Structures are given as structure tokens and as C-alpha cells.
């Protein structure tokens, strides 16, 4: 099973960050490939995409200014299989990606992703300013 390729470029409008790929994504090589995952449907219903993309078309989001990555690149059946060490290393790598590609918005696909990235456990739902999500790193 391979790692899923990130879809990144400079100055993205939005960078979507997931926990890690599912086993189905690991097998197919595409983000959000599990048929039970609602990412593609929600993305379209939100109005961010003109059509409901298929997971095989994940790379096409770059044309819209959207990128895809994960905090941990190893595919697992469930996020609870990710180790603390993987989260720690993944957070460092994610910070480097954000600094390198400078997206206007980072959208964590799940509140838990943000919590693992920042180390904050009690986080309200909602938007944060860029400085806020980098805050743990600006010490």
C-alpha cells in the first residue's frame, strides 16, 4: 500500500488537511476514496466545486485553487491507529507545507485534525486566523 500523493501548489485558496488516508485511499492512490466518506459530496453541496468530483479526480482541485494533504501520510483503517510519534512528525511536516505553499485558508477536515496539529484539546468550532494555527510553533 502506497502513500497518497499530496496535491499542492503555491498560493492555494484552500488547503484541505485530513487525518490520514483510509485503506481504500491507500489502495486506490486517491484522497477520500472510501465510498462512505462524504468529503466530495459536501465539497460540492457547499458550492466550492461546480460538480461533485470523484476521488479519482482529486488532482483537479488544484485547477480550482484547492489543495489536499494529511497530517499523517500512512493509510490506516481508523485514525485511532495513528501513533503520537506519527502525529508529532506529521505536524512538523504539515507546518512546513503551510509555510512553503502559503494557502489563504487551511481547512482541517475534522476538528480532531486541528487538535492534533496544534496540541489544543478544548477547541471551539469555527474559524481561526492563520497566526492562531501557527501559534504553537511561534514560541
pTM for this prediction:
0.85
Question: How many alpha carbons fall within 13 Å on the CB side of residue 49?
Answer: 20
Active site members? 20, 31
Domains and their CATH numbers in the chain: 14-137 (3.40.470.10)
* Nearest alpha-carbon partner for 68 in 93, 38, 32: 32
Give 97's contacts (C-beta < 8 A, 6+ positions apart). Answer: 6, 8, 15, 69
Instruction: Provide the pLDDT for residue 126.
Output: 73
Collect all residues with Cβ–Cβ distance below 8 Å to 129 and sequence separation of at least 6: none
pLDDT in tens, 84-103: 899 899 999 999 999 999 99
pLDDT of residue 102: 94
Q: Taking all residues of the chain, what is their mean pLDDT, rounded to a whole number?
A: 87
d(CA 116, CA 35): 25
- Percent of the chain at pLDDT > 70 equals 90
Q: Grid coordinates in use for 24?
A: 481504500
Residue owning grid cell 460538480 = 51
pLDDT at 13: 96
* pLDDT single digits (tens) 52-67: 999 999 999 999 999 9
Whether residue 17 contacts residue 70, with contact meaning beta carbons closer than 8 Å, is answered with yes
Amino acid at each position: 500500500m502506497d502513500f497518497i500523493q499530496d496535491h499542492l501548489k503555491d498560493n492555494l485558496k484552500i488547503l484541505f488537511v485530513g487525518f490520514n488516508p483510509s485503506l481504500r485511499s491507500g489502495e486506490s492512490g486517491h484522497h477520500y476514496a472510501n465510498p462512505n466518506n462524504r468529503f466530495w459530496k459536501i465539497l460540492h453541496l457547499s458550492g466550492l466545486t461546480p460538480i461533485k468530483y470523484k476521488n479519482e479526480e482529486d488532482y483537479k482541485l488544484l485547477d480550482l485553487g484547492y489543495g489536499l494533504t494529511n497530517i499523517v501520510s500512512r493509510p490506516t483503517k481508523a485514525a485511532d491507529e495513528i501513533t503520537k510519534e506519527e502525529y508529532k512528525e506529521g505536524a512538523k511536516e504539515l507546518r512546513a507545507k503551510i509555510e512553503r505553499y502559503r494557502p489563504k485558508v487551511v481547512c482541517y477536515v475534522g476538528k480532531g485534525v486541528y487538535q492534533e496539529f496544534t496540541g489544543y484539546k478544548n477547541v471551539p468550532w469555527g474559524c481561526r486566523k492563520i497566526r492562531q494555527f501557527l501559534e504553537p510553533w511561534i514560541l
